[in-house]
Amino acid sequence: MKQEEVYEQVKERLMSYARIDTQSAEYTGHWPTTEKQKDLARVLKDELISIGVSDVFLDEEGCVVYGKVPSNVQDTQVMPIGFIAHIDTAPDASGTNVKPWVLENYDGGDIVLNKEKNIVMKASDYSNLKMYIGQDLILTDGTTLLGGDDKASIAAIMSFAQYLVDHGDVKHGDICIAFTPDEEVGGLARDLDFDRFGAKVAYTLDGDHLGWYEDETFNASEAVFEFTGRSVHTGTAKGIMVNAVDMAAELMAMLPKKEKPQYTEGVEGFYHLISCESDCEHARVRLLVRDFDHDNFKKREEFLKECAEKLGADYGDDRVKLTIIHQYSNMKEVLKDVPFMIDILKGAIRKAGIEPVCEPFRGGTDGAALSFRGLPCPNLSAGYENAHGRFEYVPIQSMVKNVEILLNICESALAIADNA
């Protein structure tokens, strides 16, 4: 692969996609959670058609884009391989009026993102910057996120597909492509149609740090406590008032102090308080429950049930309601049965001149849900940095390398028969 051929493609694609606001939203009650995600979906559909990808289809209702680069291997049946990236950007920072720009040949110093507003990304605050000295960085003006999560992956997959179409001498089986909405708010590729997609195994591209991959995620659920109180004038409250704020406060005091995200790392699980809305009459507390180990995860959920029972005994069972909503499971349970996928991924990263790094992912990916739905799906990093914030950036060279890694995956996958 000639890197200079791909460099301009990934650069222009990311900058173009970044300008399209695709921010998703929590708790809208419908999917996709925002209609504006369809703006990019339509662009991607048209672009796939223009570069010669076949079987292009946009599910307008579900906001899923499909495409395929058909196999050019005639003498054997090669297992179809899929690649998936998400369209939406996170609600954590604005995705409106994104102004991407390129800093060439980064020198290792502080980066002035916005001179007028005195927004500076200090090298001392972001230690990973030193890894990209001499490279070219796509940044914002410091007022919005960039959207490299996950548009850097879309740019790489698109450029990879174009490379296959333009270079018929590169042998490959069916390459199946999908772009999905709402990953950032737990969409979990819910509307991905496996039959239309066509792959039996796939890789998501989503994550920071070039050359990193994940084959293990948290087990995850959300716990919602609702407390019903009784309000009365404080002057006559004795024996009558039941304060829902007190119940919420007692619950939060029950949680293990050091088992929170800010105190944990590696494979340590946690409880994470998302929100607490309360007054005397009603309180609602939302928690995330996370653990890599299935048994420990279940113990965490049981602990919350015990908390609810204790509060119910003190205040009345009818005043305490707990709902636990399962979100996703540790994809390691599925991926351990398809070790060839990890072998292919590690080999592809090494062939690109990068030492692969695998750490348990302290989060979730669409691949976790897809794996349990029957599509084994480890995750390859997109190579962005500082996602979900105003100091996000993407080294262009990382996207170029990801195109190379995808080509290497194709080459290795030729050895995997369709009946594997």
The CATH number assigned to the domain holding 252 equals 3.30.70.360
Of the given ranges (70-84, 189-203, 208-222), which has the lowest mean pLDDT? 70-84
- What is the token pair recorded at 279? 């007054």
Starting from the edge strand earliest in sequence, which strands make up the sheet with 219-228, in order?
270-278, 282-291, 219-228, 320-328
Instruction: Report yes or no on 37 lying in a domain.
Output: yes
pLDDT-derived band of residue 384, with 50, 70 and 90 as boundaries? Answer: very high
Q: What is the per-residue pLDDT for 360? A: 87
**HSE-up (13 A, CA, CB side) for residue 270:** 18
- What is the token pair recorded at 323? 């709902």
194 & 239 share domain = no
pLDDT, tens only, 120-154:
999 999 999 999 999 999 999 999 999 999 999 99
43 & 190 share domain = yes
Is 88 part of the annotated catalytic residue set? Answer: yes
**Integer Cα distance of 110 and 125 in angstroms:** 9
Q: What is the mean pLDDT of residues 196-218?
A: 95
Instruction: Report yes or no on 419 lying in a domain.
Output: no
223 & 365 share domain = no
Which residue bears the tokens 């995330």?
Answer: 288
196 & 323 share domain = no
**Integer Cα distance of 197 and 176 in angstroms:** 6
pLDDT at 415 over 90: no
337 & 305 share domain = no
320 & 284 share domain = yes
Neighbours of 114 (CB within 10 A): 14
The 3-state secondary structure of the chain reads CCHHHHHHHHHHHHHHHHCCCCECCCCCCCCCCCCCHHHHHHHHHHHHHHHCCEEEEEECCCCEEEEEECCCCCCCCECCEEEEEECCECCCCCCCCCCCEEECCCCCCCEEEECCCCEEECCCCCHHHHHHCCCCEEECCCCCCCCHHHHHHHHHHHHHHHHHHHCCCCCCCCEEEEEECCHHHCCCCCCCCHHHHCCCEEEEECCECCCEEECCECEEEEEEEEEECECCCHHHCCCCCECHHHHHHHHHHHCCCCCCHHHCCCCCCEEEEEEEEECCCEEEEEEEEEECCHHHHHHHHHHHHHHHHHHHHHHCHHHEEEEEEEEECCCHHHHCCCHHHHHHHHHHHHHCCCCCEECCECCCCHHHHHHHCCCCCCEECCCEECCCCCCCEEEHHHHHHHHHHHHHHHHHHCCCECCC
For residue 58, what are the β-bridge partners? 65
pLDDT at 420 over 60: no
Neighbours of 396 (CB within 10 A): 24
Total domain count, the chain: 2
How far is the first Cα of the chain from the last one, in angstroms, to the nearest whole number?
A: 29
Instruction: Report yes or no on 117 lying in a domain.
Output: yes
pLDDT-derived band of residue 417, with 50, 70 and 90 as boundaries? Answer: low
Active-site entry in 88, 246, 291, 404: 88
Q: What is the mean pLDDT of the chain?
A: 95
Which residue bears the tokens 């995850």?
Answer: 220
Contact 390, 144 (CB under 8 A): yes
80 & 212 share domain = yes
Comparison of pLDDT for 360 and 19, the residue scoring more: 19
Q: What is the per-residue pLDDT for 275? A: 94
228 & 294 share domain = yes
Give 419's contacts (C-beta < 8 A, 6+ positions apart).
77
Of the given ranges (1-10, 17-26, 119-128), which has the lowest mean pLDDT? 1-10
Contact 300, 269 (CB under 8 A): yes
**HSE-up (13 A, CA, CB side) for residue 290:** 24
73 & 153 share domain = yes
Q: What is the mean pLDDT of residues 283-299?
A: 97
Instruction: Report yes or no on 420 lying in a domain.
Output: no
- What is the token pair recorded at 201? 């195994």
Backbone phi, psi, residue 10, to 5°: -65, -35
pLDDT at 267 over 70: yes
**Integer Cα distance of 11 and 102 in angstroms:** 9
**Integer Cα distance of 262 and 250 in angstroms:** 21
| Residue that is last in its domain, among 327, 346, 371 | 327
Instruction: Report yes or no on 126 lying in a domain.
Output: yes
Q: What is the mean pLDDT of residues 389-397?
A: 98
pLDDT at 257 over 90: yes
Instruction: Report yes or no on 129 lying in a domain.
Output: yes
| Residue that is last in its domain, among 271, 296, 327 | 327
Contact 90, 24 (CB under 8 A): yes
Q: What is the mean pLDDT of residues 34-41?
A: 98
225 & 100 share domain = no
The predicted model scores a pTM of 0.90
Q: What is the per-residue pLDDT for 18? A: 98
Active-site entry in 21, 150, 182, 183: 183
77 & 202 share domain = yes
Comparison of pLDDT for 28 and 299, the residue scoring more: 299
pLDDT-derived band of residue 361, with 50, 70 and 90 as boundaries? Answer: confident
Expressed as residue numbers, the domain containing 122 is 3-216+331-413
pLDDT at 1 over 90: no
Q: What is the mean pLDDT of residues 323-341?
A: 95
Instruction: Supply the angle between the helices 148-166 and 37-51 in degrees, to the nearest 10.
Output: 10
Q: What is the mean pLDDT of residues 67-92?
A: 93
pLDDT-derived band of residue 418, with 50, 70 and 90 as boundaries? Answer: low
Contact 82, 202 (CB under 8 A): yes
Q: What is the mean pLDDT of residues 341-358?
A: 97
387: domain CATH number?
A: 3.40.630.10
Share of the chain above pLDDT 90, in %: 91
pLDDT-derived band of residue 26, with 50, 70 and 90 as boundaries? Answer: confident
| Residue that is last in its domain, among 327, 345, 375 | 327
Neighbours of 100 (CB within 10 A): 22
Instruction: Report yes or no on 61 lying in a domain.
Output: yes
86 & 181 share domain = yes
pLDDT-derived band of residue 186, with 50, 70 and 90 as boundaries? Answer: confident
